[in-house]
Structure 1
Amino acid sequence: MFSSRMNPSSLLYGTLEEMHELAFIERPIRRSLKTAEEIDQLTVDEDLNDIERAVYLLSVGQEVQRASVISNLPSLVRQNPAETFRRVVPKVRDILNGSGAEIQLAAAASFLTILQDDIILIHTHTYSILKTVLLHLNHRDTVVSNAWLETLLSAINTLPKETIKQEVLNPLLYQSQLSHSLQARLASCRILGKVSCKLDSHIVKKELLPLARSLCQDVEFEVRASMCRQLETIVRATGVEDVRAEIFSDLIELAADEESSVRLAAFDTIINLMELMDSDDRLHVVVPLVMSVCDESAQMDETVVASLSFQFGKLCSGLADSLSDEQKRNLLQRFKMLCNAGLQAEGNEPDDNNEATLIRCNCCYNLPAMVVFVEPTHFLSELYPSVSGLCCDPDVSVRRSAAASFYQVVKLLSPNVQVVHKELLALLQDDALEVLDALMNHLEETLELIISRGENLTQDNKFPELLSALLLAEQKVGCSLRWRLHEKLLQRYNCLARLLPGELLHQNFSPRIFTILTTNKVLPVQKEAARTFCIFLRYNRKPEQRQEMMGRLLEGLAQGRSYWNRLRFLDVCEMATEIFSRKYFNKHFLIPALELVHDPVANVRYKLCQLLPRFRLSLHLPADKQLLQQLDFCVQKLLCKEKDKDVVATIRKTVLELDKLDLTEPKRQERDLLDQKKEKEETLLLEMQLERQQSEGKLNSDKHTEKKRKDSKTTLSATKSMSVSSSGATLSSSGKEIRKAKLSRSRSLSSQPTTSKPSNSDRPLKVKELSSSSALGKSPVLQNKEDCLRTTHFTMSTQSTSSMPVLIRCNTTSLLDRSSNLDHRSSTTDHRTSILDQRDHRTSNVDHRSNMMEQRTTTLDHRDHKTSTLDHRDHRTSTLDQRSKTMERVCGVKDSQSRKLSINRKSNSYSVQSERD
Structure 2
Amino acid sequence: MTDASGSDESLFPIAVLIDELRHEDVQLRLNSIKKLSTIALALGAERTRTELMSFLTETIYDEDEVLLALAEQLGQFTPLVGGSEYVHCLLKPLESLATVEETVVRDKAVDSLRLLAPEHSNSDLETYFFQMVKRLAQGDWFTSRTSACGLISVCYQRVNNSIKMELRSLFRNLCSDDTPMVRRAAAAKFGEFVKVVEIDHVKNELIPLFNNLASDEQDSVRLLAVEACVVIAGLFKHDDIERFLMPSLKQAIDDKSWRVRYVVADKFVELQQGVGPEITKNELVSAFGSLLKDNEAEVRAAAAGKIKDFCHNLPSDTREQTIMTHILPYVKDLVNDSNQHVKSALASVIMGLSPVVGKDNTIEHLLPLFLTQLKDECPDVRLNIISNLDCVNEVIGVKTLSQSLLPAIVELAEDSKWRVRLAIIEYMPLLAGQLGVEFFDEKLNNLYANWLLDHVFAIREAATNNLKKLVEKFGHEWAQSTIIPKVLNMARDQNYLIRMTCLFCINVLAQSCGQELTQKVMLPTVLGLASDPVANVRFNVAKTLSRICPVVGSSALQSQIKPCLEKLNQDSDVDVKFYSIEALESEKVIQAM
The answer to whether TM tops 0.5 is yes
CA change 1:384–1:219 in 2 (3 A) is same
Structure 2 residue 38 is matched with structure 1 residue 104: no
Q: Deviations over 1:1-29 (max 9, x none)?
A: xxxxxxxxxxxxxxxxxxxxxxxxxxxxx
Which of 442, 447, 454 is the matching residue for 2:389? 447
Which of 243, 249, 266 is the matching residue for 1:310? 266
- 1:470 aligns to what? 409
Structure 2 residue 341 is matched with structure 1 residue 401: no
Per-residue deviation at 1:205? 4.5
CA distance in 2, matches of 1:660, 1:222: 69
CA distance in 1, matches of 2:252, 2:160: 35
TM-score (norm 1): 0.52
Task: Give 1:365-514 correspondences, 5 Å limit.
Answer: 365-372=305-312, 373=314, 375-413=319-357, 415=359, 416-418=361-363, 419-436=365-382, 439=384, 443-444=386-387, 446-455=388-397, 458=399, 463-476=402-415, 479-480=416-417, 487=422, 490-514=425-449
CA distance in 2, matches of 1:473, 1:434: 12
Please say if residues 422 and 462 of structure 2, whose CA atoms lie closer than 8 Å, have aligned partners that are also in contact. yes
Which of 279, 290, 293 is the matching residue for 2:238? 279
Please say if residues 530 and 541 of structure 2, whose CA atoms lie closer than 8 Å, have aligned partners that are also in contact. yes
Please say if residues 597 and 634 of structure 1, whose CA atoms lie closer than 8 Å, have aligned partners that are also in contact. yes
- 1:680 aligns to what? none
CA change 1:132–1:559 in 2 (3 A) is farther
Please say if residues 111 and 129 of structure 1, whose CA atoms lie closer than 8 Å, have aligned partners that are also in contact. no
CA distance in 1, matches of 2:413, 2:59: 60
- 1:873 aligns to what? none
CA distance in 2, matches of 1:263, 1:224: 10
CA change 1:252–1:465 in 2 (3 A) is same
Please say if residues 201 and 238 of structure 1, whose CA atoms lie closer than 8 Å, have aligned partners that are also in contact. no
CA change 1:283–1:526 in 2 (3 A) is same
CA distance in 1, matches of 2:273, 2:441: 45
- 1:547 aligns to what? 481
CA change 1:467–1:239 in 2 (3 A) is farther
Task: Give 1:336-351 correspondences, 5 Å limit.
Answer: 336-342=289-295
Per-residue deviation at 1:364? 0.8
Per-residue deviation at 1:235? 2.7
Per-residue deviation at 1:552? 0.7
Q: Identical aligned pairs, as a percentage? A: 17
Q: Deviations over 1:778-832 (max 9, x none)?
A: xxxxxxxxxxxxxxxxxxxxxxxxxxxxxxxxxxxxxxxxxxxxxxxxxxxxxxx
- 1:175 aligns to what? 136
Q: Deviations over 1:53-110 (max 9, x none)?
A: x989957865xxx234466789x76xx97379979xx8xx8899586xxx62322454
Structure 2 residue 518 is matched with structure 1 residue 574: no
CA change 1:289–1:653 in 2 (3 A) is closer
TM-score (norm 2): 0.77
| Other structure's SS at 2:278 match | coil
| Other structure's SS at 2:150 match | helix
- 1:618 aligns to what? 551
CA distance in 1, matches of 2:19, 2:529: 61
CA change 1:498–1:55 in 2 (3 A) is farther
Task: Give 1:210-359 correspondences, 5 Å limit.
Answer: 210-220=169-179, 222-238=181-197, 240=199, 243-252=202-211, 254-255=213-214, 264-287=223-246, 289-290=248-249, 297=254, 300-323=256-279, 327-328=282-283, 331-342=284-295, 356-359=296-299
Q: Deviations over 1:466-499 (max 9, x none)?
A: 22322333433xx34xx66754553344432323
CA distance in 1, matches of 2:320, 2:160: 46
CA distance in 2, matches of 1:201, 1:432: 58
Which of 94, 118, 135 is the matching residue for 2:96? 135
Q: Deviations over 1:107-149 (max 9, x none)?
A: 2454578799x9x99665998997655434323xx4x2x1211
- 1:515 aligns to what? 450
CA distance in 2, matches of 1:290, 1:466: 41
Structure 2 unaligned segments of length 5 or more: list them: 1-12, 44-51
CA change 1:470–1:96 in 2 (3 A) is farther
Per-residue deviation at 1:389? 1.6
CA distance in 1, matches of 2:459, 2:78: 45
- 2:469 aligns to what? 535
CA distance in 2, matches of 1:453, 1:370: 20
Q: Deviations over 1:272-324 (max 9, x none)?
A: 32122223323443345545666xx2x74444433333344433444353349
Which of 478, 483, 498 is the matching residue for 1:565? 498
Per-residue deviation at 1:188? 1.3
Give the aligned CA root-mean-square deviation in angstroms: 4.4
CA distance in 1, matches of 2:250, 2:548: 70
When structure 1 is superposed on structure 2, of 239-248 and 503-512 the one drifting more is 239-248
- 1:638 aligns to what? 568
Please say if residues 107 and 147 of structure 2, whose CA atoms lie closer than 8 Å, have aligned partners that are also in contact. no
Task: Give 1:719-734 correspondences, 5 Å limit.
Answer: none
CA change 1:659–1:292 in 2 (3 A) is closer
Please say if residues 514 and 533 of structure 1, whose CA atoms lie closer than 8 Å, have aligned partners that are also in contact. no
Per-residue deviation at 1:562? 3.5
Q: Deviations over 1:179-198 (max 9, x none)?
A: 522232122112334x359x
Please say if residues 228 and 269 of structure 1, whose CA atoms lie closer than 8 Å, have aligned partners that are also in contact. yes
CA distance in 2, matches of 1:493, 1:651: 35
Please say if residues 368 and 412 of structure 1, whose CA atoms lie closer than 8 Å, have aligned partners that are also in contact. no
CA distance in 2, matches of 1:429, 1:452: 22
CA distance in 2, matches of 1:321, 1:659: 62
Which of 154, 161, 170 is the matching residue for 2:111? 154
Q: Which amino acid aligns with 1:507?
A: E
Please say if residues 196 and 234 of structure 1, whose CA atoms lie closer than 8 Å, have aligned partners that are also in contact. no
CA distance in 2, matches of 1:253, 1:135: 31
Per-residue deviation at 1:375? 0.9
CA distance in 2, matches of 1:637, 1:659: 19
- 1:346 aligns to what? none
How many residue pairs match? The answer is: 553
Task: Give 1:746-895 correspondences, 5 Å limit.
Answer: none
Please say if residues 390 and 402 of structure 1, whose CA atoms lie closer than 8 Å, have aligned partners that are also in contact. yes
Which of 183, 187, 191 is the matching residue for 2:151? 191
CA distance in 2, matches of 1:154, 1:579: 55
Q: Which amino acid aligns with 1:422?
A: P
Q: Deviations over 1:255-275 (max 9, x none)?
A: 566766655544542333212
Structure 1 unaligned segments of length 5 or more: list them: 1-50, 343-355, 664-917
| Other structure's SS at 1:475 match | coil
- Which of 1 and 2 has greater Rg? 1
When structure 1 is superposed on structure 2, of 280-289 and 423-432 the one drifting more is 280-289
Per-residue deviation at 1:601? 3.2
Task: Give 1:601-750 correspondences, 5 Å limit.
Answer: 601-619=534-552, 624-629=553-558, 630-639=560-569, 641-658=570-587
Per-residue deviation at 1:548? 2.6
CA change 1:280–1:528 in 2 (3 A) is same
Q: Deviations over 1:370-410 (max 9, x none)?
A: 42436134423321121122232101221222223334434
Per-residue deviation at 1:175? 1.6
Please say if residues 500 and 540 of structure 2, whose CA atoms lie closer than 8 Å, have aligned partners that are also in contact. yes
